[in-house]
Structures are given as C-alpha cells and as structure tokens.
Structure 1
Amino acid sequence: MQAIYREVVLSISMFSLLSATLLAMQPAPTEQRAAQQPTTQRAPDAIDSVVATQMARREIVGLSLAIIDDGRVVETRAYGTITRGGTDRVTPSTLFQAGSISKPVSALAALQLVDQGALSLDDNVNDKLRAWRVPDNPFTQQEPVTLRRLLSHTAGLTVHGFPGYAVGAAVPSVPDVLDGRGNTGAVRVNVLPGSIWRYSGGGYTVMQQLVVDVSGVPFPTHLRDRVLQPLGMEHSSFEQPLPAARAAQTASGHLLNRQPVPGRWHVYPEMAAAGLWTTPTDLARYAIGVQQMFAGKSSVLSADMTRQMLTEQKSGYGLGPAVASSGATLRFHHNGRDEGFDASLVAYAQSGDGAVVMINGNDNSRAVNRIIDAIAKARQWPDWEAPKPEMVARAPRTSRLPDEVSGRYEFQNNNMLTLFVQDGVLFTDVNGLRDEDWIPTADGRLVSTDRAVSFRPVRDTRGAITGVAWTSPNGTTRQIPRIGPLFTVSAGRDPDPHFTVRFDSARVHLATGGAAVTGSPLLTEGARAVFTRPTMDFANVSARQFVISEDVRGRGIERHGHAIVRVAHYRLQTAGGERLVIVHVDADGRVADFDVVSR
C-alpha cells in the first residue's frame, strides 16, 4: 500500500506543477459572478486546472462555460482566443454554434403550439404540413409520423445530421433539404414509425417546417419572439447566415485537425436541428427556464407539458432533451456539434444545478466531459458519478507491454481505438492528439489514469496480439479485436499486388463519387451506399506505397454490413499532402471501408 500511496502523491504533485505551467501558457480566464456584473480576475481553481490541461493536451483554441447553481447563473468563464494564432480573446459574450443543442431549444416552440391547441403530439404531422409533406409508403400506412415521434427520434426518419454549407455557397430551402436536393439524402421513413429509436436531424427539420406552416412566421422570427426573448437569451439567434453585426461577435470554428473552418463557420438552413448561435450564458438561461417550467413558474411552457418533455420516450430521450435519473435527481442534457464547434449542456430539473461548455473546435475525446466532471465535483452536484481511476501498483519501468499493444483496435463497429507510445507512456490517440494515459500494472493489465477502465492483451497460439479484453467501470469485460499496427512500422513486401491494383482503381471511383461509386464492382454493397459523394482524400494522388497488411479473419470486424478478413495500409501522396489510409477488405477482395488516419 505504501508504494501505491507514493505513486498517487507523485502523480498529484506532477499534476499541480503541470497545471501551473499550462495556466501560465493559456490566456488568463475571465469570469462574471452574475451575468450583469463586470468581468473580474481571480485565483485559478480546480476547474481552471482541468480546463487548462484539456485545452493544452487537445489543442483547443477557445472555450467558454457557464455554471448554474440554485436556478441562477453564478459564474461564467472564458479561455483562449476566437481563432487559432489570433489575439482576440474569447469572452462570455462570444457567440458559438450550438449544433444539436438547437434541437431541445427548438422543441420548446413545437410544444408551445401543443399547449395552445394548434398542434397535437400524437396526430399525423401531414395533417398540418403545407409546404412539404412526409411521403407516404407502406411504413407510414401502418403508423403515422407524429410530433412526439419527431421530437423523440422515433419517427423512423432518415438523415442523422447535416454538414452545413460554406459561407457564400448557395443554400437550399427546407423543402429542398427534405427532398435531398441539398448536400444530404432525402428525409424519408424507412422503418416503422415508433418501432425503434434512431437519431434523426432529418426529423427535426420536418418539425421546423411544421412550426413554420402552423405559425405562418419564419422560423428564426418565431423562435426569437416565442422562445429566445422570453427566456432572456438576448445574445442568441437562429438566423442563418447571421447578419453582419452578430457575425462580428462570433468565434471561428476549427476542425478535428485544428485547422480553421474555411469562411470561419458553416451555414445551416436546418435551423431546428443545428442552426442556433448562442453563448453558454444564454444556454444556461434556457436550462433555468426549463427548471422554472418544470416547477410551474414560467409562462413559456406549462408544467404538464414540461413534465412530458422530460419523460423518457425511448432510449434515454424525452421530447427534445435527453434525460437521465428520476425524482429529485432528474436531469436533462444534450451535446452539440457543427462544423468547427462542439458544445455540451447538462442541468437538473429540480435542484437548480447545471453547466454549459462550448468550444470553437471539434473534439472526439472526453475533454469536455472531464471539464463538466470538474464542475460537478466543485459544485457538489447530487448523485453525479464522476469517473474515478483505479488505484494500482505500477509494473516495472522495463515492461514491454505498452509497446506490444500499440496499434489500432475496433472499439465498436466503425469506431477505432488508437493506442500510441511516446516517451515510454502509452496513451489513447484521438484525431492525432493525446487523450487518455494508461499505466502497465504488475498483473499484466493497462489501467486508465482517468477512470476505472482497464484492458489486457489477447494473444493467439503464436503469442501475437489479436485484440484486448476491455473491462468497463461496471466490471463487464468484452473482446475488442485488433485491426493492425500504426504507420510507424517500416514498409514491407506486398503479399497481394493484385488487390493493390484493384484498390488503385477503387480509390479513383471513390474520388469521383456518384455513378462511379454506385456502379463499382470493386466496392461492397455497403460501401457503394455510403460513399456516394466524392472522397477528396483520394483526389490527385501522385504516388502510392504499400506499408503492411494484416489477416483479421475471424476477429469479428465488420464494416457497413460486411465481415472484414484483411486490412491493408497505404501511404498516398496527394496535392493536399500525405494521406495514411487503412483499407478494410471483405472475403471477395472488395473494399468495404477505409479510414484516413494521422499515425
């Protein structure tokens, strides 16, 4: 036990030193004790330390947050700059895109119309739609698309999300979006309404048209008058694109590789699904408004309708927000992503606690979750279970385990886990940046320094690692198959030059898109259905080098409905720079999927 205690003390000391260094590197955070009071400086605290660590490790350019306590905005903090390499600081009034947090805010407008008797939760929405209607088919003839199903992602509609449009590009109307004449497919019912939960931004775009048809008012105007202004969200707008005066108050978006979004951000005609510009303070006011509605103290929405909104319909979703727990600890939450922006909101319906975090970057790590965990701990939220790392005895420094497990694994279907070693430390690589660290233990496991998660290698009869046995915080263990090594390995001899020639032709088809993809015999049926748009990573290839391949037959890897038997790695030289490509091959030698990676 003494050795373990020394390890923890040393870790805390090193973390304190690191946090102090990172805080010196970052622009000093600003704060408002209440929304109306001036910005003041203060001594850094535990929340600042976590924010600084995550911003530095994940190269987050700018971040803004708001903290709710007892139904009030008690703190706002802002860090970093509005654009990479710039000097203009993020402030609590800097505008960010809310992404899918637009959905629960927009849902209030539809539920108000139900409160007023202009809409019903359970009638066929085609009874009220005018400018566009949900096309009938055998599924809708059995079950209707209703507002309840639109808001809870159970209407059976397609189109998960929307990429938006470059600033200055032609933007389609909402009916054109719904009929697939934009940059996404047509929004259609392809499964029995009410039978399953499936996230659908397309469904919320139908809801947007429904609100416009029933109210007779443009969506941004209706939301401003009926939702944003009554809730005190004075800095927020659904206008797409923003007028010049508001655009001057925005942060610039940054992609997963931390490069700026061309034109600073995208335009979203799918306003209900992804079109809200706002601040953490304004989103906190939305959350406080919901808390007041739930208590029957708001005229925006009745208490009865609010309780329906916060009642789980299916798979953890209410009518707009996601919901968790019950009774005194009932909370509502939602995450958001637009091109170059991520956001997260969580609040308790009864206790009056909550927080909002917004960043001007896309990030696939747990960075924002860690910041919310730090806020929850500091504010002592009821029943919040922040991750706690396991206390372990470290293996000798000479352990070869980190180097042995370095590589890529199929964490979930079409979701890779990348493990990388640098300076003797094994960590999770997320989009080319360091995320979660892993400690080798004396009992042959690797344990997270961040949460109670561990894994141990799974080997075949020859001793080669074919996967890992992953143990989650709840104690369950599952097998995660290995995909292959990182691109740090030396290039080897190509065991199947014939397939490489086929891949050369397949990537030309993928770069072309359209009929070249849908008619390609070199791609699986699943790939032909998914990759209809041109793959720009495969455009203008000047050279291709085979690196390595791995036989993964029997490991249970599947991509787009096809079992994978081999994974091949290639380096491509393109006009846009080097591309590291992993190609997933089925038993018929066809390309089932590919990944463009950073290591």
Structure 2
Amino acid sequence: MPSSRVPPSRRRVLSAARLPVVLLSVLLAGCAWPGCPAPAPLHQPETLQVLAERHHVCGVVVAVIRDRQLASIETASACAPPATLAPDSVFQAASLSKPVFAYAVLKLVAQGKLDLDTPVMTYLPQGYRHQRNLLTPEPSDLVTDPQLAAITIRMVLNHTSGLPNWTSGVLRVGTAPGTTWNYSGEGYVLLQRAVESVTGQPLDRFMAAQVFQPLGMNHSDYACNERVAKNLLPGTKANGAPRAAMTLTNPNAAFSLHTSAADYAKFLVALMNDDALLTQSTASPVAVDPALGISWGLGWGMERGRDDATIWHWGNNTGYRAFAMASVRSGDGFVMLTNSENGLELAPPLAQKILPRQHTVFQSPILGTDLLNVLCNTLRICL
C-alpha cells in the first residue's frame, strides 16, 4: 500500500500541482490534503450497504474487533447482481501484506534468528539481486551501492532504509540509511530475501508455517494458488466495472498477500493480545508528519493522541483497496477489504464509527490521489 501502495508500473498517482485545472477544485474539496476537516461522524442510517452503494464498491467485508477479540463481520455489495460475499471471501490485501510480514520478522527476532539492529546484508553474504519487474524473477541485477550495507532490519520495518518505494532501474539508496522516513516496498523485498536465506524457505512457505497455520488463517497466502483463488473476488474500477487485476503468483512481502477479512482479523487479534510484540512494534516510532501526529512503527503507521496510539495501514493494488486500524489502549479496531478502486472512500466513516475520534491519517497526503479515480468519480471517464 501506498507512496506505499504499488510499483510505479501499477500506480496512476498524480500530484495536485500537475493536475489539470478542471480537476484541481474537485480534489481540494476532498480530504486528501493536510488541514482539511476531519471526516463527519457516520450517521446511523449510513450502513455499510449504503456506503457501498454510494461509492460503487462492488464487494466489501469488514471485520470489527472489540476489546482485542473479533466481535462481528459485515458484508455489503453494490454490484448488480450482488457479489456473493462471506467472512472467508478472499481479496488481494496489497500493502496490508507488510504488517503481517513485519509480525513474522519480529517473531524471528524473538527466536534469536534475526537482530533488529544488524544490517540486512549480514544475512545475504552472496549479495542482493534486485528484480526490475516485481512480477517476474528476471531481469535482475546485483546491487552494488555500498550504502546498502548500512541498512538494518529496523530501518526496513520503519521505512528509514533510504531505498525508493519501487524502481524498474538500477536500485540505489537515495538518502542515508536511518535518517529519513520514506515509504519503501523495495526495502521489504530486501528483507524478504534475508528471511528466506535465514529460514531456507520461500516467503509463502515461511509465512504459512510462522503465521498462517498457528493462527488458523486458512484462506491466506502470499501467492495466488488454487486454494485461495476459488474464493478470490475479481477486482473492479471506481464505477464498479470489472478491472483486469494482476495475478500474483510470485510471493512478495510488500503487496502479494491474499487473505480474507476473517483471517486478517485473526492476525490483528493475535498482535493486539501479544503485549511484548505490540510494545516492540509501537515503542519507538519515527516521525512522518509531526503536525498531524503521524509516525511509523515496526510495520505500522501510527497516530498518537494524548492517551492512546492507533496503528493503521492501507493497501492499494489494481482493482482492490484495503484498510486496517486498531487502538493500542482499547483493543478496538477493524479490517476492511474491498475489491474496488473506490474502497478507501469507506475507511474514514468506518474509522469514525468504530473508533470515534479524529483520525489525522485521512488528512494526510500519504494516502495519495489516484488520477484514474478522480476521472471516474468526477468526470465519469472510467479507464
């Protein structure tokens, strides 16, 4: 997710400065920029079904967590005919892949197999080959930037590695490792290779053994296969029309997780009930946007209030949007998975209803602006 969402070849994001004038006023009326008002409270009649219909979201499944336990799962569909939805319906979770991978990495740290402040390259004595196309193993090239040796596991998890989000060219470290927050999917792939080297397992098998099987996440995998594909909902555009989504058969720690809302809730409940791991994930966040109180822990974005910290992450793959959020103090939260490029429109009102307070993440440019969605939602040009 997301920017954190997806590789440049899969992103269609444009800054406000480059948008045509005809679209600029539309964008400024939304809540994608710092200083815009907090989302209005969700009125009682605005059920999940009403929200799905308003935003043309074909399929959405929301798992609600109360007091660190799964409380309910709700579904809605604005398709015609309605999509068949269930707690175990599978979606591409996009960048929600990262917190689950971070959880597994911290498990390895607890087992003494990894050290957070050891350079990642310590675990890759043969060097690191960078994939120029993230969907295929080749072409690839051996990274020669000497700054790579300074990147620690902690820096990857909190996005201070200095690596770009994605690049199809030569991979270079852009800023000195450990000095600047910059969301990086490339960093997570680097750490993925180290984990595979240490465990002797490819990512999908490692995650199954370390996380999915112990937590009973029976509808989750980091690669699309026959088991998850039978429950996978196809992706859709912002207007609900079908979108030809990517088939993710090569496991990628940053964006290839396939999961259900029920499964992802099991993971989030496990995290919220693991005091040591939750504390480690949130104890020393790095600043992202101090004016909005946004920082980044080990695997999660964070909002900090007077007496609470809220962890969150979002996902953005072609045809899919996802969001997860939880309060560290109360243990309340939710997981939202959608098969719609308009899916993130549902996150602010859901957050306000389930965790009723001002959520500054929705005022931040971190979530970005998707030009295709702007064209589709405002001008009805749905490419």
Q: What TM-score do the two structures reach when normalised by structure 1? A: 0.48
Matches of 2:72 and 2:253, distance apart in 1: 28
Alignment of 1:126-165 (within 5 A): 126-130=121-125, 132-133=127-128, 135-137=143-145, 139-140=147-148, 144-160=150-166
- Which whole-Å CA distance do the structure 2 matches of 1:54 and 1:359 have between them? 12
How many angstroms apart in 2 are the aligned matches of 1:331 and 1:62? 26
User: Aligned with 2:274: secondary structure?
Assistant: helix
Q: Which residue of 2 aligns with 1:335?
A: 314
Tell me the residue number matched to 1:236: 220
- Where does residue 123 of structure 1 map in the other structure? 118
Would you say the 8 A contact 2:217–2:263 is kept in 1? yes
1:150–1:332 distance in 2 versus 1, CA, 3 Å: same
Task: State the partner residue of 1:99.
Answer: 94
Gaps of 5+ in 1: 1-44, 161-179, 295-302, 378-383, 388-410, 419-428, 435-485, 487-579, 581-596
Q: Of Structure 1 and Structure 2, which has the larger fraction of its residues in strand?
A: 1
Q: Which has the higher contact order (CA 8 A, sep 6+)?
A: 2
The Cα shift of 1:321 comes to 1.0
Corresponding position of 1:22: none
Larger Rg: 1
Instruction: State the distance in 2 between where 1:343 and 1:61 align.
Output: 13
Q: What runs of 5+ residues in structure 2 fail to find an aligned partner?
A: 1-41, 130-142, 289-294
1:70 aligns with 2:59: no
Cα deviation, 1:504-523, whole Å, max 9, x if unaligned, reads: xxxxxxxxxxxxxxxxxxxx
2:77 is aligned with what amino acid? Answer: G
Q: Which residue of 2 aligns with 1:385?
A: 358
- Higher share in helix: 2
Q: 2:192 aligns with which of 208, 215, 238?
A: 208
Q: Is the 8 A contact 1:68 1:75 kept in 2?
A: yes
- Name the aligned partner's letter for residue 70 of structure 1: D
Q: Residue 224 of structure 2: SS of its match in structure 1?
A: coil
1:192 corresponding residue in structure 2: 176
Q: CA deviation at 1:130?
A: 4.7
Return closer, same or farther for 1:62/1:47 CA change in 2, 3 Å cut-off.
farther
Contact 2:117 2:154 in 1 (8 A): yes
- Mapped to 2, the partners of 1:140 and 1:357 lie a distance apart of 35
> SS where residue 96 of structure 2 aligns?
helix
The CA distance in 2 between the partners of 1:278 and 1:46, in whole Å, is 30
How far apart are the structure 1 equivalents of 2:98 and 2:370? 30
Deviations 1:483-518 (A, max 9, x none): xxx8xxxxxxxxxxxxxxxxxxxxxxxxxxxxxxxx
1:523-570, Cα deviation, whole Å (9 max, x unpaired): xxxxxxxxxxxxxxxxxxxxxxxxxxxxxxxxxxxxxxxxxxxxxxxx
Residue 324 of structure 2 is matched in structure 1 by 345
1:439-471 deviation per Cα after TM superposition (whole angstroms, max 9, x unaligned): xxxxxxxxxxxxxxxxxxxxxxxxxxxxxxxxx
Which amino acid letter does the alignment assign opposite residue 196 of structure 1? T
How far off its partner does 1:86 sit?
Answer: 4.4
SS of match in other structure, 2:76: strand
Contact 2:165 2:182 in 1 (8 A): no
Q: Which among 201, 214, 217 is matched to residue 201 of structure 2? A: 217
Contact kept? 1:344, 1:368, Cα under 8 Å = yes
1:313 aligns with 2:286: yes
1:260 matches 2:239: no
1:477 aligns with: none
SS at 2:263 equivalent: helix
- Closer, same or farther in 2 for the Cα pair 1:127/1:231, shift >3 Å? same
Give the match for residue 531 of structure 1.
none
Q: Output the CA distance in 1 between the equivalents of 2:125 and 2:241.
A: 42
Whether contact under 8 Å (1:124, 1:145) holds in the other structure is yes
Written as runs of structure 1 = structure 2, the 5 A alignment for 1:20-35 is none
1:207 partner letter: L
Range that drifts further, 52-61 or 145-154: 52-61
Distance 1:352 1:49 in 2: 24
Letter in 2 for 1:307: T
Deviation at 1:261, TM superposition (A): 2.5
Whether the 8 Å CA contact 2:326–2:334 is kept in 1: the answer is yes
Q: Percent identity?
A: 27
Alignment coverage as a number of residue pairs: 317
Change (3 A) 1:255 1:195: same
Q: 1:133 to 1:73 in 2, by over 3 A?
A: same
The CA distance in 2 between the partners of 1:53 and 1:194, in whole Å, is 45
CA distance in 2, matches of 1:126, 1:252: 38
Kindly state the Cα deviation for residue 85 of structure 1 after the two structures are TM-superposed: 4.0
Q: Deviations over 1:59-78 (max 9, x none)?
A: 11111101111111111011
Q: What code does the residue aligned with 1:253 have?
A: G
Aligned counterpart for 2:259 among listed residues 272, 278, 293: 278
The verdict on how the C-alpha distance between 1:257 and 1:120 changes in structure 2, with shifts beyond 3 A counting, is: same
Seen in structure 2, the aligned counterparts of structure 1 residues 94 and 331 have a Cα distance that, compared at 3 Å, is same
- For the residue of structure 2 that corresponds to 1:267, the secondary structure is coil
d(CA) in 2 for partners of 1:341 and 1:47? 27
